[in-house]
């Protein structure tokens, strides 16, 4: 069976190498040989390995118009032209395997509609690299009513937060090390500002809860504002801070969001270190499951891509597989109605009555406080950390508005979900 690979970068290189070095193993699994007949790249000036030179092309039409190519493996990244190429390949009756979360999160349902009956659109590698979470949600867990998914699905932010927690130091220092070690891209904005995690939880929630989740509807908060003080406060409160992508089924709809989250030590997600990814799933009758493993990198991602290639190839020969991406929008609970406990760090003038004014601002909005601590006091400034009781986001916003009008409050410096209890079943 002939396949074409679009992109020969971090992931594409491994996929092409593995398909060649493990040719016999995969042929035995499939009962047919897989041959990479074309490889699309962009830069005509780049030197390519000897082994692929005869197969390189810069013209995607050569692939789309070749009737012998049955599977297109999109590993270019970015939204366009990747989306249009995937659509054209599906319309031409080719199966498509992609690792592209941006395209799937924005256009998954439309693309699966465009597919010819024999053509599959598979995207296991789009969420959490090598962790087989897509197929698990779609197939193995299809007999469950799923209740919640909590994921550490961005390796860059988890590396930065783990490093701040283990070795101390600032966010800037931890990010510099992540870049040096290759865990953060030159422009890590999509990771740090939580957009990458939003794309992934949108895909997971759409598969788990059966309604399409629009990425633009998912509230998000990144990790740029987290400081050493927050990390130390989390520790004193018995937890750690992680960037958690969450999706929960409630009687009113789905509660979705990505934000820095204070999670209790002892919860399986609290121990996920470095660039690892982990996804916690709770459902009936299964109970709790945790998937953990490498969420990025060529080797791990190629594992998911090749699994999809073999699956697509098998399905073209024996039939019977179809990917069900929901098309109807999922009912989402508006952010104002999300109920959580929150951790907040505030900078105050160190003056009599300042704390009382802060307490009044929360009380006036109907927000109870579970803890108020003062980790820093210096030169007329006092930094306090506050943990609220369970409160609706709308009430919290009322309290934040009052705090902004409070003469003793210099700044609100961070806001973190404090899920010390509600993450537990």
Ligand X SMILES: NC(=O)c1ccc[n+]([C@@H]2O[C@H](COP(=O)([O-])OP(=O)(O)OC[C@H]3O[C@@H](n4cnc5c(N)ncnc54)[C@H](OP(=O)(O)O)[C@@H]3O)[C@@H](O)[C@H]2O)c1
List the interface residues with ligand X, window 46-65 (CB under 6 A): 46
Interface with ligand X, residue 9, by CB under 6 A = yes
Interface with ligand X, residue 125, by CB under 6 A = yes
Interface with ligand X, residue 182, by CB under 6 A = no
Pairing verdict, β 239-250 and 287-294: unpaired
How far apart are CB 50 and ligand X at their closest, in Å? 16
Pairing verdict, β 369-378 and 381-388: antiparallel
Interface with ligand X, residue 187, by CB under 6 A = no
Interface with ligand X, residue 43, by CB under 6 A = yes
Rounded Cα gap, residues 204 and 279, in angstroms: 10
9/407 with CB nearer ligand X:
9
How far apart are CB 16 and ligand X at their closest, in Å? 10
7/264 with CB nearer ligand X:
7
Residue in the shown chain whose Cβ atom is closest to ligand X: 9
Q: Is 338 within 8 Å of 393 (Cβ atoms)?
A: yes
Interface with ligand X, residue 99, by CB under 6 A = yes
DSSP calls for 163-230:
HHHHH---HHHHHHHHHHTTSS-SS-HHHHTTHHHHHHHHHHHHHHHSSB--GGGS-B--STT--HHH
Interface with ligand X, residue 326, by CB under 6 A = no
Catalytic residue check, 94 = no
Interface with ligand X, residue 403, by CB under 6 A = no
3-state secondary structure (DSSP) of residue 118: coil
How far apart are CB 278 and ligand X at their closest, in Å? 15
Rounded Cα gap, residues 389 and 14, in angstroms: 49
How far apart are CB 299 and ligand X at their closest, in Å? 9
Interface with ligand X, residue 151, by CB under 6 A = no
Q: Per this entry, what is the length of the chain? A: 425
For residue 81, cis peptide bond before it (omega within 30 degrees of 0): yes
How far apart are CB 269 and ligand X at their closest, in Å? 20
* Residue among 130, 182, 171 nearest 153 (CA): 130
Catalytic annotation, pick one of 91, 101, 179, 200? 200
* Residue among 418, 402, 407, 410 nearest 365 (CA): 402
User: Binding residue for ligand X (CB under 6 A) from 100, 162, 206, 402?
Assistant: 100
According to DSSP, the residues that pair with 148 across neighbouring strands are 248, 282
Both tokens of residue 79?
A: 């939204």
Interface with ligand X, residue 12, by CB under 6 A = yes
Task: List interacting residues with ligand X (CB under 6 A).
Answer: 7-12, 40-43, 46, 75-77, 81, 99-101, 125, 129, 296-297, 301
The residues that are catalytic are: 200
């Amino acid at each position: 069976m002939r396949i074409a690979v679009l992109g020969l970068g971090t992931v594409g290189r491994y996929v092409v190498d593995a398909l060649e070095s493990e040719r016999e193993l995969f042929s035995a699994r499939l009962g047919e040989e897989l041959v990479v007949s074309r490889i699309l790249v962009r830069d005509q000036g780049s030197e390519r390995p000897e082994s692929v030179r005869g197969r390189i092309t810069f013209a995607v039409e050569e692939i789309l118009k070749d009737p012998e190519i049955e599977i297109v493996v999109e590993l270019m990244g970015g939204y366009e032209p990747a989306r249009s190429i995937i659509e054209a390949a599906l319309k031409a009756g080719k199966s498509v395997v992609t690792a592209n979360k941006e395209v799937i999160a924005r256009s998954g349902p439309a693309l699966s509609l465009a597919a010819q009956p024999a053509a599959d659109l598979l995207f296991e590698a789009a969420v959490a690299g090598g962790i087989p979470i897509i197929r698990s949600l779609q197939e193995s867990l299809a007999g469950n009513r799923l209740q919640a998914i909590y994921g550490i699905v961005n390796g860059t932010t988890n590396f930065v937060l783990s490093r701040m927690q283990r070795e101390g130091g600032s966010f800037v220092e931890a990010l510099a090390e992540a870049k040096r070690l290759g865990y953060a891209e030159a422009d890590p904005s999509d990771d740090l500002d939580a957009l990458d995690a939003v794309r992934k939880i949108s895909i997971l929630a759409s598969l788990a809860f059966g309604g399409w989740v629009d990425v633009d509807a998912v509230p998000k908060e990144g990790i740029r504002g987290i400081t050493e003080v927050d990390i130390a406060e989390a520790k004193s409160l018995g937890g750690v801070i992680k960037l958690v992508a969450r999706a929960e089924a409630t009687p009113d709809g789905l509660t979705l969001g990505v934000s820095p989250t204070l999670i209790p030590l002892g919860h399986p997600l609290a121990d996920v270190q470095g660039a690892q990814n982990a996804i916690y799933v709770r459902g009936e009758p299964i109970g709790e499951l945790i998937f953990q493993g490498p969420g990025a990198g060529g080797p791990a991602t190629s594992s998911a891509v090749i699994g999809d290639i073999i699956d697509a190839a098998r399905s073209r020969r024996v039939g019977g597989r179809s990917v069900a991406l929901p098309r109807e929008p999922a009912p989402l609970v508006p952010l104002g109605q999300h109920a959580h406990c929150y951790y907040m760090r505030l900078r105050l003038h160190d003056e009599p009555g300042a704390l009382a004014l802060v307490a009044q601002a929360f009380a006036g909005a109907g927000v109870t406080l579970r803890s108020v601590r003062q980790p820093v006091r210096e030169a007329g400034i006092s930094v306090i950390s506050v943990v609220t009781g369970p409160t609706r986001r709308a009430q919290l916003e009322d309290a934040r508005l009052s705090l902004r009008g409070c003469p003793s409050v210099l700044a609100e410096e961070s806001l973190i979900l404090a899920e010390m209890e509600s993450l537990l079943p």
